[in-house]
Amino acid sequence: MNDDVYIPGSSTTGNDSARFALTLANPTWGPYYSGGGSGSNLVLTGANSSYEGLVTTVNHRSANFVFTANYTWSHCIDIEDSQGDTESTTFQNPLDPKGDEGNCGFDYRHVFSSSMVASSHFSFSNRLLSTAFNNWQLSPLFHIQDGTPIY
């Protein structure tokens, strides 16, 4: 919030305390605030994110077979992923937080899930075979998604 401001021709490492934003805005009270962002935090409440997605679902049901598949195609954009209350969220330019807008850290563009339940119902004349191979259920689950963005 109180970073030093670059002034062409007169900015040096020795005069950064005189170039803090609050000192330049109010030379009387500005020096009493810590500079360089070490002692003051700017908490913004106006940040937002956007999510757009398309979800498709396919279902098939019969006496011995149930199949469901879902596919999500989406995109998430935000300024900064939440780190907690005021935990280490920093901007390249504190005066322009919107300049840090980009893909969410949890932006999974493609997500596919499917599940199936298949039951065994065979007609055997032998009671032993009928007991061994009937009334079984197979229920696999399958989930695949792309990776998170690389920064």
- Residues 76 and 14 reside in one and the same domain: no
Structural domain span for residue 54: 48-145
H-type helices in the chain, by residue range?
21-25, 127-133
- Residues 30 and 68 reside in one and the same domain: no
| Residue 41 contacts residue 1 (beta carbons within 8 Å) | yes
* More reliable by pLDDT, 1 or 144: 144
* Tens-place pLDDT, residues 42-98: 666 667 789 999 999 999 999 889 999 999 999 999 887 766 555 556 677 767 778
- Residues 36 and 61 reside in one and the same domain: no
- Residues 19 and 79 reside in one and the same domain: no
- Indicate the number of domains in the chain: 2
How many other C-beta atoms can be found within 10 angstroms of the C-beta atom of residue 147? 8
In this predicted structure, the answer to whether residue 41 has a pLDDT above a threshold of 90 is no
- Residues 12 and 59 reside in one and the same domain: no
Confidence of residue 34 (pLDDT cuts 50, 70, 90): low
Residue 111 has a pLDDT of 95
